[in-house]
Amino acid sequence: MTVALRGLSTVVPPTVLIQEEVRDVFAGQPGLNRLAQRIVATSFNVSGIDTRHTVLAELSRDMRPDEPVFFDIARMELLLPGTKARNELYAEHATTMYLDAGRAAIDATPGVEASDITHVITVSCTGFYAPGPDYVIARDLGLGADVERYHLGFMGCYAAIPALRIAKQLCEADAAAVVLVVSVELCTLHLRSSNDPDTIVASSLFADGAGSGIVTALPLEPGERAFDLDRFATRITPDGEGDMAWKIGDHGFEMVLSNAIPSIIDEHITGALQPLFAHDPALADALATDASSGAVEHWAIHPGGRSILDKVESRLRLTEAQLLPARETLRDFGNMSSATVMFVMRNILDSDAAADGDRVAAMAFGPGLTVESSLMTVRG
C-alpha cells in the first residue's frame, strides 16, 4: 500500500519582522550587560535569517496600541507579560491559523472534501487550550461528528514527522482513511529580553507559522504532486538531554538551547539516519560514503539554525543545492519549531529540480536530543 502526503500547505501571519530591526530592539533593552549585548549582535547577525513572521501585530512599527502587552514602541521597550497572557493570545491566534492551514490543505487536495476526513492530528509546543485545536478544526471546517482526533503537544521541533508517521500508520490500518495533519507554532509569543545566552539565541531564531497536509492511500488525481511516505525512523542521541529543552516559566515558555547542539548533531547524525536507509543497500552505502551522490536527491533538513545546517552539510557531504530549501526557509521564515520542516518540504515540492521518482530525506531535531527522519518519494 502506498500512502501519500497530499495538499502540502503553509501559512504565516501577516506581520513581518526584519531581522536587523529586531536585533537593534533587543540590543537596546534596559538591563542588558555588555556580554549579553555582544551575544545579541552575534546571534542575530549570523542567524542566516532576513525575515520572520509573528502574530503580534504590536511588534510592527505601524502599530501603536493604547495598552501594549509585548512592546512599548514609544519607549522601544520589550515588556514582560505573564504566561497566562501569552497563552491567551496563543488560543486566539492559533485557532485562526489552525483553521486557515487545515482549510488550505483540504482545498489543495483534489478529490478530497472536508466531509471525507476520518482523522485529525494537530501539533504544537507553544501553547495549550481545551477543547483544543483538533476540536476546533472538526467543528469549524465541516468534518464529521465521528472524526477521530489526536493532538501531539510539547514535543518540540521534530513533532511534525511523528505526526506524519502516525497518519501513515492509520492509513495502513484502514485503506479508506483520510488524515488531516496540521502543525501550528507561535514561538514569538515567548520572546523576551534577557541576559541568558540561551534566551538570546532563541529570540534571534524563532518565528510563527503553520504547515498542513492530507495523508491518505487514496490515489492521486492527474497532474497532482505529492510525497509518497516510504519510511520513518527515530533515534535518541546518547548526549544532549540537557542541551535542548522546553520548559514553562512564569513569563512564557523557556528554551534551553546550548551551543553544543551543532556538535552533538554532527557526531550522531549519520548513526541516526542508518535505520532509515538500512532496507536499501544502495542508500546505506551512499550514507556511509557520500550522501550527495544522488541516491537521495533532496534533503528536507529542519533549519534549527545556520550552524546546524552547516554541520549537516559538512558531515553528510551534501551539496549547496541540496541544502538550499532549508537555507531559504530559514532566511525567509526563521525557525517555526515543528512546522518548519513542512515549509522545507513544500519548497522542494514546488521546485523545478524535484522530478517524479526523486527521493527525499526529511529530518528534524528536538528535545532529548531526538532525531526524527522520514524517507519520501516525489510523485507527479
pLDDT in tens, 295-351: 899 999 999 999 999 999 999 999 999 999 999 999 999 999 999 999 999 999 999
Confidence of residue 171 (pLDDT cuts 50, 70, 90): very high
pLDDT in tens, 107-121: 999 999 999 999 999
CA distance 273 to 284: 9
Nearest Cα neighbor of 54 from 90, 16, 92, 27 is 16
What pLDDT, on a 0 to 100 scale, did the predictor assign at position 151?
Answer: 97
Query: Which domains are seen in the chain, by residue range?
Result: 226-379 (3.40.47.10)
Check whether 125 has a pLDDT greater than 70: yes
- Mean pLDDT, the chain, as a whole number? 94
Task: Tell which wins on pLDDT, 237 or 137.
Answer: 137
What pLDDT, on a 0 to 100 scale, did the predictor assign at position 292?
Answer: 64
Cell numbers for 31: 538591563
What pLDDT, on a 0 to 100 scale, did the predictor assign at position 260?
Answer: 85
Contact 10, 343 (CB under 8 A): yes
Nearest Cα neighbor of 210 from 55, 10, 17, 349 is 10
Q: Give pTM, 2 decimals.
A: 0.96
Angle at 261 between CA 260 and CA 264, to 5 degrees: 90
Catalytic residues: 157
Check whether 290 has a pLDDT greater than 80: no
What pLDDT, on a 0 to 100 scale, did the predictor assign at position 340?
Answer: 98
Task: Tell which wins on pLDDT, 73 or 127.
Answer: 127
